[in-house]
Amino acid sequence: MSIREDQSRFKSIIKAKVRDDFKRYVTSGELIGKREDEFVKIPLPRIDIPTFRYGPKQKEQGVGQGDGEASEAAGNPGSNKGEAGNQSGEHMIEVEVSMEELADILGEKLELPKILPKGTKNILVEKNKYSGLAPVGPEGLRKFKQTYKKALTRYISSGTYNPDDPIIVPIRRDYQYRAVKKTPLPHTKAVVIYMMDVSGSMGDEQKEIVRLESFWINTWLKKHYKGLDTRFIIHDASAKEVDENTFFKTSESGGTLISSAYKLCQQIIQADYATSEWNIYPFHFSDGDNWSGEDTRVCLSLLKDFFLPNVNVFSYGQVESKYGSGQFLKDLQKEFINDDRLTLSQIEGRDKILSSIKDFLGKGK
Amino acid sequence: MANLTFELETERKKISQIAKDCGLDFFETIFELINYDQISQIGSYGGFPVRYPHWRFGMEYEQLSKSYEYGLSKIYEMVINTDPCYAYLMEGNSMMDQKLVMAHVYGHCDFFKNNVWFSKTNRKMMDQMANHATRIKRYIDRHGYEAVEKFIDNGLSLENLIDRYSILNNPQNLTDTKSFTQNDSYLFKVEKPYMRNYINPPAYIAGQKLKQDEKNLQKTQFPLSPVRDVLSFLMHYAPLEDWQKDILSIIRDESYYFAPQGMTKTLNEGWASYWHSYMMTRYILNDSEIIDFADHHSGATFMQIGGYNPYKVGIELFRDIEERWNKGRFGREWSECDDVRERKNWNKNTNLGREKIFEIRKIYNDVTFIDEFLTEDFCVRNKMFVYKLNKETGKFEVDTRDFKAIKAQLLFQMTNFGQPIIKIEDANFENRGELLLQHAHEGLDLQPNYMDATMLNLFKIWKRPINLVTIMGNEAFLFRYDGNQYSKHSLSDNNKTDVGGPQVPAKA
């Protein structure tokens, strides 16, 4: 039945709407709460064909039935059967969009380049695919079109082809069959390690921004790496590894030693992720405050000696906060000018989330 | 076609015979047994198996199938007004449900065949719809999906701008251009051809024509009188390609086909419910099914507090009328009697009830039905009231139980069957080829955002500025969309000095 076509047309209209309103979804976070395994559910107002119709006043008055004196509550006139029609404007519909499609929209909106996994880190897996051709095979796998083409070639090359009577009769040696072809499939492994400063100077708004950014970064990376690993580290003066939930909920107070997180991250990589096999993406978010210049120097040398040579790209996002000095970003900028293994981004507020994501992922690494 | 199981077919024959014995008169009715997915598909196509491609059917389907899957709602019965009638039964419903649906459907089929508002509908609409689909698919092949879809969207925006009351005069005739332009009312009626030149002498005709031409020169009013069938007008006079005109005519045809169903919702559902209840309880149900029946019947005819259920109002009114006409509770004597006790025991054994309700199903529509048969007694007995939104508390409250108010409110909701009345007043407004529409304001304002969007769509068809006169918040305005921007001009007297404001004819 052709309702399937109408349905898919409707869905593509809806998706176009999501695309148009994409910026709003990125910065509002309503998608994250609605996430299921493979899909996100996006609430949209039901799309309507406009007609001249009565305004909302019509609903303020009506006829009902039941007990009760004047000015007693009459209950809520719910949607009642039968009287469909002029009440559609308020319904919401939920559209299911797969994470894959969401990533596509993100990529399209930000014009993100495809990520090219590091060459040596690809494990090739061979897979059998019926995409080849062979002159022998079972009749069930005979390719009619190719067989015809072969026969046609034979006719033309032997000069027996007659355009007025274009009958082609294939003979045994024209026959073409589908055959197995071994296709190497790249199999890549990747891990994202999120580090976040949870010291007193990082407020709720800053954490929400980090949460939104990490959601979109994950979405994009997942599109490129099947089976993406994620790890979470929080730090103030000391660092510890936590699960995703704790990562976004924890609020500590006290000082900040960024190096503690970097050291823990180094340990995790060395323990679990052989740099020859894994694509590694460390992300660090903070407000740019560090305890001392001494600690910053430790961080810089860790970056230079361990991280940058071993990871795909190291990303640092600095979330603007009232209390942070923002010094760390400046230190990094000074130390690593034009080093494209390090990505720096400054996030002044929710509005800048999109451009910051572009900073991080725009290099295609 | 019919694929009923043996048991269902046996019941169908039985119920069909019972319905005939009850006096119902219907076209042959074909029942098809389909699954829930098919019923959602057909339901989203308005009951038809084939419609032209358009996303809004996909949207309907999405909602119907989802709400069934989530257990929120279920389509019980569906029947289409064609000859033969087609009706659908859902696989997996209990036998009692199937019987209930069949009995209900025969009620609808009788109504379709006999009610006067359906008398001009195309009974081969199934073929017609398929034909529409073929035509639109052909246009898609020729002009591209996007172009056709966009135009359909524009056209559907005007779908409700038809003349519902013209149904009885066969709306197809309205496509005759004469009704918009020519006026030969000065000619006397000629019965015998050879008398023509005596009754209407050429000199007289020439003189009248001259007069009329002069008149036309003075008054370049076009159309001559306001037009309610906006779609038809646009088909003839908007600068459109042939395929676009054809799409408008398709939308218009389907709109006219569905119009009577909107005009007789209460009557039709009330009639079918009356008959399913009558037949089920007397002839069809067996003892074990009675509880389930009562449960489902009351579910369908349950009136939510503050809601309006056409099934409920319809069936109660039919029963009330039957009783009144059986006991002779009508006419002058009855209405002049104000002795409570006498009224209560009033029974003249007239036994005209059955005859009366058959008459009603023949010549009434919802508006005339409510207007004539909703009585004060009925409202009191059914505890009806008017509710209002209390803006301070945000809650709906009982406003009054006054009979006149209830009736007024019900009729008000049904005026033009819930659609605003909008006419084309002038198609050469300001002598600039602009379109002037007049909204006959009945106390309710138009919804502004939909109004703007609709004017935009109308502009895309007419391709000249669109003007609409209506009342918004107790003040008359002329709303205008000129292709780039919207503007509005107040029409109330103290604001007449509106700079550059157009001259607007007096309100119709």
Q: Looking at the DSSP assignment, which residues form a beta bridge with residue A230?
A: A192
Q: Which residue has the higher pLDDT, A340 or B464?
A: B464
Nearest to A247 by CA among A283, A277, A290, A292: A283
Q: What is the mean pLDDT of chain B?
A: 86
pLDDT by residue (tens digit) across A247-273? 877 777 777 888 889 999 999 999 988
Q: Please state, as a whole number, how many other Cβ atoms lie within 10 Å of the Cβ of residue B368.
A: 15
The answer to whether the beta carbons of residues B109 and B26 sit under 8 Å apart is yes
Choose from A42, A46, A52, A79 for mutation: most chain B CBs within 10 A: A52
Dihedrals phi, psi of B106, to nearest 5 degrees: -60, -35
Residue A86 has pLDDT above 50, yes or no: no
- Closest in B58, B62, B444 to A58, CB measured: B444
| Burial class, A298, CB count within 10 angstroms (exposed 0-12 / middle 13-18 / buried 19+) | middle
Backbone angles phi, psi at A285, to 5 degrees: -120, 130
Under the banding of pLDDT at 50, 70 and 90, the label for residue B218 is low
Whether residue B57 and residue A3 make contact (CB cut-off 8 A), yes or no, is yes
What local confidence, expressed as pLDDT, does residue B202 receive?
A: 83
Which pLDDT score, from 0 to 100, does residue B453 have? Answer: 92
pLDDT of residue B487: 92
Check whether B150 has a pLDDT greater than 90. yes
- Give yes or no for residue A89 having a pLDDT over 60: no
What confidence score (pLDDT) does residue B72 get? 77
ipTM of the complex: 0.81
Residues 434-453 of B with CB under 8 A from A: 439, 444-451, 453
pLDDT in tens, B78-118: 999 999 999 999 988 899 999 999 999 999 999 999 999 99
Q: What is the pLDDT of residue B111?
A: 96
Q: What residues have CB less than 8 Å from B385, skipping those under 6 apart?
A: A63, A64, A65, A66, A68, A74, B398, B399, B400, B401, B406
User: What are the DSSP calls for B432-469, one per residue?
Assistant: TTEEEEEEE--S-PBPHHHHHHHHHHHHHHH-S-EEEE
Any idea what the Cα angle at residue B202 is, between residues B200 and B203, rounded to 5°?
Answer: 105
What are φ and ψ of residue A325, in 5° steps? Answer: -85, -25
Separation CA B105–CA A255 (nearest Å): 77
Inter-chain CB proximity A63 and B398 less than 8 Å: no
Digit-coded pLDDT (tens) for B351-380: 899 999 999 999 999 999 999 999 988 998
- Could you tell me which residues come within 8 angstroms of residue A202 by beta carbon, excluding any fewer than 6 positions away? A196, A251, A286, A287, A319, A321, A324
Which of A163-167, B62-66, B392-396, B432-436 bottoms out in mean pLDDT, i.e. has the lowest? B392-396
The H-or-E segment that residue B423 falls in is strand B421-429
B41 to A71: CB separation less than 8 angstroms, yes or no = no
Q: Give me the residue label for tokens 């089920």.
A: B280
Taking CB atoms and an 8 Å limit, are B385 and A54 in contact across chains?
Answer: no
C-alpha gyration radius of chain A: 30
What pLDDT digit, counting tens, does each position of A282-320 carry?
Answer: 999 988 888 788 888 888 888 888 888 888 888 898 888
Average pLDDT, chain A: 79
d(CA A92, CA B363): 40
| Residue found under tokens 């308005």 | B46
Higher pLDDT, B454 or A321: B454
Is the Cβ–Cβ distance between A134 and A177 less than 8 Å?
A: yes
Quote the tokens at residue B425. 């007043």
CB under 8 Å to A43, separation ≥6 — which residues?
Answer: A30, A34, A92, A93, A94, A95
Q: What pLDDT does A60 receive?
A: 67
Q: What digits encode the pLDDT tens for the residues A214-258?
A: 888 888 888 777 778 889 998 888 888 988 888 877 777 777 888
| HEC assignment per residue over A195-213 | EEECCCCCCHHHHHHHHHH
Closest-CA residue of A relative to B153 is A49
Please judge whether A62 and B401 are an interchain contact, meaning their C-beta atoms are less than 8 angstroms apart.
no
Cα B136 to Cα B126: distance, rounded to the nearest angstrom: 16
Chain B nearest C-alpha distance from A34 (Å): 18
- Calculate the CA dihedral of residues A350, A352, A358, A360 and round it to 10 degrees: -70
CB A307 within 8 A of CB A262: yes
The pLDDT assigned to A87 comes to: 32
Position B1 scores a pLDDT of 46
**Residue A79, min C-alpha distance to chain B (Å):** 8
> How far, in Å, CA of A113 to CA of A115, rounded?
6
The yes-or-no verdict on residue B276 having pLDDT over 80 is yes
- Say yes or no for a CB contact (<8 Å) between A3 and B61: yes
Chain A nearest CA to B107, separation (Å): 17
Q: Where are the beta strands (DSSP E) in chain A?
A: 39-45, 61-65, 92-98, 123-134, 177-187, 189-197, 228-235, 239-242, 278-286, 314-319, 342-347
Q: Where are the alpha helices (DSSP H) in B120-201?
A: 125-143, 145-156, 196-199
Give the separation between CA A199 and CA A218, rounded to whole angstroms. Answer: 24
- Non-local (6+) Cβ contacts of B421 within 8 A are B228, B415, B439, B440, B442
Contact B58/A64, CB-based, under 8 Å? no
Contacts of B396 in chain A (CB under 8 A): 73-77
When pLDDT is cut at 50, 70 and 90, the band that residue B284 belongs to is very high
Interface test with A, best of B413, B450, B451, B486 (most A CBs within 10 A): B450
Q: Which residues from B are below 8 Å from A66, CB to CB?
A: 303, 305, 383, 385
* Beta carbons within 10 angstroms of residue B349's beta carbon: 8
A10 and B CB contact within 8 Å: yes
**Tell me: the pLDDT tens digits for B10-62?**
999 999 999 999 999 999 999 999 998 999 999 999 999 999 999 999 988 98
Measured distance CA(A205)–CA(B220) in Å, rounded: 66
One-character DSSP codes across A37-79: SSEEEEEEEPP------B-GGGGGEEEEES---TTSB------
- Measured CA to CA, the distance from residue A155 to residue A166 in angstroms comes to 10
- Given pLDDT bands bounded at 50, 70 and 90, which one contains residue A79? very low
Q: What is the pTM of this model?
A: 0.74
**% of residues, chain B, pLDDT over 70:** 91
Answer whether residue B501 shows pLDDT above 50. no
